[in-house]
Structure 1
């Protein structure tokens, strides 16, 4: 019997970069906007500032340090967000265009460089 490995799709995301402004399309934070803080290409996930936050209760580690509740941000799947074009200010898909020896990201709605 041959074993089939469970393979996830590994997308090389040139289309989404750190610092892009995005809007959340699905989930509990649907409609919220924020900037991308981190991109995890192997997991197909991103971290957006102020979105998908949860609270974690931390036990005290010593008698001097009190217990506390901290707020953390979880990564979101890339498919649940859409990039907002800085020129037309609309959620859009990102296309790639080759000019000479460079690859440029373009907005699919207004055809301008992102």
Structure 2
């Protein structure tokens, strides 16, 4: 299992698939599956039985996981897709955008 270049609360752009070009905030990263759930991306319809939370039941639209390889971080300076460099300062790891050299927070 390798370390992933995308973390929760990062802003990413979709590189491939039906949502190509859309941007969103990462809600959850599934490290074991190498997937991420991104806000407003890869929306699927799911049918739900009536429950205490949803007494009506019916069809619910929600985000499905998308593979990490289809996502790229957004450069904080230019707002375009960028690759990531890892720099270590003591025990602290800093992610740097390859295009602009800016730190990704």
Of 72, 83, 87, the residue aligned with 1:97 is 87
Normalized per residue, the structure richer in strand is 2
> TM-score normalised to the size of structure 2?
0.87
- Unaligned runs of at least 5 residues, structure 1: 1-9
Give runs of aligned pairs for residues 1-114 of structure 1, distance below 5 A: 10-13=1-4, 15-60=5-50, 65-114=55-104
Tell me if the contact between 1:17 and 1:39 (Cα under 8 Å) persists in the aligned partners. yes
CA root-mean-square deviation: 1.7
Question: CA-to-partner distance for each residue in 1:63-113, whole Å, 9 max, x for gaps?
Answer: xx4341111211000000110011221210111011233211000111111
Report how many aligned residue pairs link the two structures. 102
- Higher-Rg structure is 1
- Unaligned runs of at least 5 residues, structure 2: none
> TM-score normalised to the size of structure 1?
0.81
Distance 1:89 1:26 in 2: 18
The runs of at least 4 consecutive aligned structure 1 residues that moved more than 3 Å come to none
